[in-house]
Structure 1
Amino acid sequence: MPTIEITPISKQGDADVFLVKVQEDGSGTDHRVFVSTEDLQKYGHGNASAEELVRASFEFLLQQEPKESILEEFDIGKIAYYFNDYDQVMMDTFS
């Protein structure tokens, strides 16, 4: 399993911004992820911090695709656009 390192880097509007580093097999990728208050409530179901949601989201993504296929920069809600089971998995995770 890849290691996931999450660092809060700023706030833009109502979104928390995180730098996510994924390391596996001697190589790594960097990602900039935005978590709005609305997305945190929607996907964290009122039971997760923004950082917990980012970690669970990357664990989900890494089960779907290699780290190199994950977008370099995205809003956390965009995951549901590409993977229609994302919301259900997050509900199961945080309910």
Structure 2
Amino acid sequence: MIKVERVSDGDPLGFDVVVRVGSGETRHHVTLARDTCKRLTMGTHTPEHCVTAAFQFLLDREPKESILSHFDVTVISRYFPEFERELPRYLSRS
């Protein structure tokens, strides 16, 4: 389960994310610029949905404990170059 809560309405937007898998959970703080969200989702999804999809993408590649505790969504592409290309599939899933 991925729970995304917006905690800052500035630019970038700020989110607290809780990931529960099995009996454990991890907590993360994520930022996402409004322009980046618009570009990544082609303006068709909320920022919360974008962050949720990004975490689904990450969880398909690494355990929740390996996800950084504080990061900007744009950092994902540094670790996984396919992120922006594959994100639309994750956005359409949920």
Q: TM-score, normalised by structure 2?
A: 0.89
Q: Counterpart of 1:22 in 2: which secondary structure?
A: strand
Backbone CA RMSD of aligned residues: 1.5
The runs of 5 or more residues in structure 1 that have no matched partner are: none
Pick one of 55, 58, 61 that aligns with 1:61. Answer: 58
Contact between 1:47 and 1:94, CA under 8 Å: does it hold in 2?
A: no
The runs of 5 or more residues in structure 2 that have no matched partner are: none
- Count of equivalent residues: 92
**Alignment match, 2:42:** 45
Q: Judging by fraction of residues, say which structure has more strand.
A: 1
Give deviations 1:47-83, integer Å, cap 9, x for gaps. Answer: 1110010010000000010000000011111111111
**Alignment match, 1:33:** 30
| Distance apart, 1:93 and its partner CA | 4.4
- Taking only the aligned residue pairs, the percentage that are identical comes to 33
Write out the 4+ residue segments of structure 1 that deviate beyond 4 Å after TM superposition: none
- Distance in 2, Cα, partners of 1:91 & 1:32: 22
Q: TM-score, normalised by structure 1?
A: 0.88
